[in-house]
């Protein structure tokens, strides 16, 4: 399924937590790994009209200093990546590394597009606040604009002495065409890790005032039960298909806030990997309203594999 695992690093110990997760995935899928770092591009002197304005001595000195710092950063990143690459090769991994210059999210996406069947593995801080949506982060921008799957890990994602593995795969579905793209990925991961696969459908619960619908309040509870039964029936086909692949698959359904329910269910499953798709909302709509996938990525401490709405 995944022939190449791309691991962007920023030089921090925190970001390196993505490495053992990527190495475990590379091992089960016999995939190559690429470690990468990005040096922010230096800005050129301002231009006037169609020709570049001759910089002042102060501007030229600042530009020279910026280039010097960028060169030092490239050399530092290259040595840093080589050291991690050496450790991985000693452990039997097929791995290479590269340093790019430019805008980090764009360079990550560019490298990912150059390789087929790629999975990006990145670290992100757990942060349910709007601040991250407004300010953005490299991981957030890759998720929002990317066209390849991204596995987002968190500092609290559990590791073992053997690296990382998933004992449970949780696949939330809304049974749309976009959501269904997560099914074969979830099944493949469950087979690769010999993990239990649980499909989950959450129906948002809307409580209407009793007088507005002409029913007593307890009818809301009965309606929730009926919705849950319908949701369970809708999962029967995907559960059966997964079982035909030799996967221990089950289903569950609930009513409530989808993101909150998904996080709660995942918290109850040891070593759980959440696999879900995104509808690709962007800009102000996503920042203000959010998406279920976005809220789960921000609010859970579990690793989340996000399937994009479109192919690269």
pLDDT over 50 at 88, yes or no: yes
- 141 pLDDT band, cuts 50/70/90, is confident
- Residue range 231-250: mean pLDDT, rounded: 93
Which class does domain 166-312 fall in?
alpha beta
Burial annotation 242-265 (CB, 10 A radius, 16+ → b, else e): beeeebebebbbbbeebbebbbeb
Strand partners, 12: none
pLDDT score, position 259: 92
Same fold, 1-41+65-159 and 166-312: yes
Q: Which of 97, 112, 115, 119 is nearest to 37 (CA)?
A: 97
The long-range contacts involving 217-226, CB below 8 angstroms and separated by at least 24 positions, are 224/255
More confident residue, 117 or 190: 190
Q: Which residues contact 157 (CB under 8 A, 6 or more apart)?
A: 17, 21, 164, 301, 302, 303
Are 269 and 209 a contacting pair, CB within 8 Å? no
Phi then psi for residue 48, to 5 deg, are -125, 120
Q: Say how far apart CA 296 and CA 263 lie, in whole Å.
A: 6
DSSP strands (E only) in 132-207: 150-153, 168-172, 196-203
Asked whether the predicted pLDDT for residue 136 surpasses 70, the reply is no
What is the CATH number that goes with domain 1-41+65-159?
3.40.50.620
Higher-confidence residue: 307 or 131? 307
Mean pLDDT of the chain: 81
User: Looking at residue 289, what is its pLDDT?
Assistant: 35
State residue 208's pLDDT score.
52
* 66-73 long-range contacts, CB within 8 A, separation 24+: 66/42, 67/42, 70/39, 70/40, 70/41, 70/42, 70/101, 73/39
pTM above 0.85, yes or no: no
Q: Is 176 helix (H, G, I), strand (E, B) or coil?
A: coil
pLDDT at 264 over 80: yes
Could you give phi then psi for residue 7, rounded to 5 degrees? -125, 100
Rounded distance between C-alpha atoms, residue 309 and residue 312, angstroms: 10
Q: What is the pLDDT of residue 66?
A: 79
Are 37 and 10 within 8 A, CB to CB?
A: yes
Condensed to tens digits (0 to 9), the pLDDT of residues 111-125 reads 998 887 799 999 886
**What is d(CA 173, CA 102) in angstroms, rounded to the nearest whole number?**
36
pLDDT above 60: residue 134: no
| Residue 199 scores a pLDDT above 70 | yes
Mind listing the pLDDT tens digit for each residue in 289-302? 348 888 898 889 89
| Domain boundaries defined on the chain | 1-41+65-159, 166-312
- pLDDT surpasses 50 at 279: yes
């Amino acid at each position: 399924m995944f022939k190449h695992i791309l691991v962007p690093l920023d030089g921090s110990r925190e970001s390196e937590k993505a490495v053992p997760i990527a190495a475990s995935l590379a091992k089960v899928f016999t995939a190559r790994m690429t470690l990468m770092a990005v040096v922010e591009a230096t800005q050129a002197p301002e231009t006037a009209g169609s020709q570049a304005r001759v910089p002042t001595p102060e501007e030229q000195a600042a530009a020279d200093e910026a280039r010097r710092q960028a060169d030092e950063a490239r050399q530092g990143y290259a040595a840093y990546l080589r050291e991690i690459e050496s450790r991985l090769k000693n452990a039997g991994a097929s791995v290479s590394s590269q340093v790019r210059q430019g805008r980090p999210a764009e360079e990550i996406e560019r490298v990912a597009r150059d390789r087929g069947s790629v999975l990006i593995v990145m670290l992100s801080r757990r942060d349910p606040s709007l601040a991250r949506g407004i300010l953005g982060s490299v991981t957030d921008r890759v998720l929002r604009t990317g066209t390849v799957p991204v596995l987002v890990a968190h500092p609290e994602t559990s590791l073992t002495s053997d690296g990382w593995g998933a004992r449970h795969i949780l696949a939330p579905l809304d049974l749309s065409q976009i959501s269904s793209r997560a099914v074969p990925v979830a099944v493949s991961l469950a087979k690769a890790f010999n993990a239990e696969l649980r499909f989950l459908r959450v129906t948002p619960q809307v409580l209407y005032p009793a007088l507005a619908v002409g029913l007593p309040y307890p009818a809301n509870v009965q309606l929730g039960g009926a919705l849950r039964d319908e949701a369970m029936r809708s999962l029967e086909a995907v559960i059966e298909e997964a079982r035909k692949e030799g996967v221990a698959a089950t289903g569950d359904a609930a009513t409530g806030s989808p993101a909150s329910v998904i996080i709660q269910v995942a918290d109850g499953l040891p070593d759980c990997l959440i696999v879900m798709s995104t509808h690709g909302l962007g800009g102000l709509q996503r920042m203000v309203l959010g998406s279920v996938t976005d809220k789960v990525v921000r609010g859970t401490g579990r690793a989340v594999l996000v399937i994009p709405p479109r192919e690269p």
